[in-house]
Every structure is written in structure tokens, then in C-alpha cells.
Amino acid sequence: MPVAPLTLICLSLATALVALAPIILYRRLAKPFALDWRDTVAGIAVFALFATVIERALNGYVLRADGPAAAWLANPVAFVAYGALVAGVCEEVGRYLAMRMLNGRSGVRGNAPVDSTGLGYGIGHGGAEAWLVGVLVQVQWITFAVLANRGELDSHLTNLSVDAVLRVHLILATLSPQFAGIFVIERIAALVFQLGLSVLMWRGVRAGSKTILPVAIAAHALIDLPAAMYQARLVSLTVVDGVYVAAAILVAIALFRACRSNRPIARAA
């Protein structure tokens, strides 16, 4: 089934927007917040290791049909609890360890704002998520759509089973401009949440808080709860996206106020 040209245009624009968002954000904040590129690289590395390797390996073991928790996870409530907690535990442990090392390396750098490291790290962590979970996946579906419109898709999927090829065609049939809009909303909201969690963790680590790790895990799990409920078919996608839009706006406002109040005031010469 061919994908409409309008849908392809919307998907391409949405993917480009999500791809550029962390780059533009870094460039806009680099000077006023004295961002250090090493903090951003640390965020990228932690997401790549803890979310795409450790978390996926854990999910592959726990969620397999004959896994040790298969019967337990058949319960929707248990599945939601696991889905909300697993990402929080994996990512926040990685974020905590990275920020402990960053704090031990540099502490507060000269006249850099208090939240410089948290913001720089958050752009890396959230940017890696935007690219690895969002951009690269969308590029794949755009490529599939182009091949489908040329009548060449099946010839490029000969290594897949019939069921897998059928699923690809079914997903292509659901693509729409609305899907592109939802993609942008979800990815931008996720970037905002990662910035908020990173600033929260950085402040807790700098303050020597012993409870910041469980607090961050709980906050991350709370953010992932609506998505886990949607996967368990307990709520609709409209409700989930509405919650994320409202929450992202609140987090963005809180970040703006908190980080602006901690920027150093330049003194006249």
C-alpha cells in the first residue's frame, strides 16, 4: 500500500525537527550557561550504554515468553509497574554514576552557572534518546515508505518472515500526518523530561543528597507510567499525549525559572 506524499513530507519534517532540536538547544545554551561538551558526551554515552544495551538486555530476558516473570507480567498491573520502573532504574543509575564522576572531576567550574553540568548532560542524554529512539527509527520507516511507493519494498525484505513483512505493511498503512505530529510531541516532551531529570540529579549530587537516586527513579517511573499504561491497553494514546504535553510544559517552566535564577550576573567592568 503506497504512503501519501503529504504523509511522507510531514514525517520528513517531523524527523528533521526532532533531529535538530538537541543541536539547536545546545547552541543556544552553550554560551549563557557555559556548557562543557564533555558533559554532553557523557550524557550520550550513558544513554547508549544503560538504555540501549543494559535495559534492552534486561527486557529481552524478563519479557521473553518462557522468562522467569512471564506469568507475573501477564497481569496488566504488574506489566505497568515493570514498564514504568525498568527504564527509571537503568537510566537513573547510569545518570547518577556519571554525575558523581562529573562532580568529582570538576565540581563547579569557575563562573559557570550552577546548573551548567546538569543542562549539558541532559542535552546529551535527551539528544541521544531523540536520535536513537526517534530519528533513526523514523528514517527507517520513511525509507520503507519510499520503497513501498516504488513497488520495491518486498524485494528488500526477503530476509524477513512473511509475518514480519506483513507487519511492516500494516504499520506503513497507519502512517499519517497526525502520526508525525504525535511523534514530535512525544520526542520533544521526552527531551524536556530528560533535561529536568538531569538538573534534578545534578543538584542532588552536588548537595550530597543520599536520597536523590531513589527520588529520581521514582520521578522517572512516574513519567513512564502513562506510556506503560498505554502499552497495557489501559488508556488511550490521546490521554497519554495530553498528559505528556501538560507535564512537559510544567517541567519546562520550572526549568526556566530554576536555571535562570542560578545564572551568574555579569558585573560591569
- What is the predicted pLDDT for the residue at 109? 58
Of 22, 21, 29, nearest in space to 263 by CA: 29
If you search the block for the grid coordinates 497481569, which residue do you land on?
A: 75
- What is the predicted pLDDT for the residue at 64? 78
pLDDT in tens, 117-140: 999 999 999 999 999 999 999 999
- What is the predicted pLDDT for the residue at 261? 67
81 to 63, 111, 129, 228, 236: CA distances (angstroms): 13, 43, 22, 8, 18
Are 33 and 118 within 8 A, CB to CB?
A: no
- What is the predicted pLDDT for the residue at 21? 98
Of 182, 212, 210, nearest in space to 92 by CA: 212
d(CA 59, CA 98): 23
- What is the predicted pLDDT for the residue at 269? 34
- What is the predicted pLDDT for the residue at 254? 95
Are 100 and 213 within 8 A, CB to CB?
A: no
d(CA 72, CA 58): 16
Encode the chain (269 residues) as per-residue pLDDT tens digits: 689 999 999 999 999 999 999 999 999 999 999 999 999 999 999 999 999 999 999 988 887 766 667 778 888 888 899 988 999 999 999 999 999 999 987 545 556 788 999 999 999 999 999 999 999 999 999 999 999 999 999 899 989 898 999 999 999 999 999 999 999 999 999 999 999 999 999 999 999 999 999 999 999 999 999 999 998 899 999 999 999 999 999 999 999 998 886 665 443 33
d(CA 215, CA 95): 13
Going through the chain in order, the beta strands assigned E by DSSP cover none
pLDDT in tens, 166-184: 999 999 999 999 999 999 9
Across 67-104, b (16+ Cβ under 10 Å) vs e yields eeeeeebeeeeebbbbbbbbbbbbbbbbbbebbeebee
- What is the predicted pLDDT for the residue at 110? 56
193 to 1, 221, 247: CA distances (angstroms): 36, 12, 9
AA identity, residue 25: L
- What is the predicted pLDDT for the residue at 113? 81
Q: Report pTM.
A: 0.91
- What is the predicted pLDDT for the residue at 108? 53
Are 184 and 59 within 8 A, CB to CB?
A: no
Are 206 and 103 within 8 A, CB to CB?
A: yes
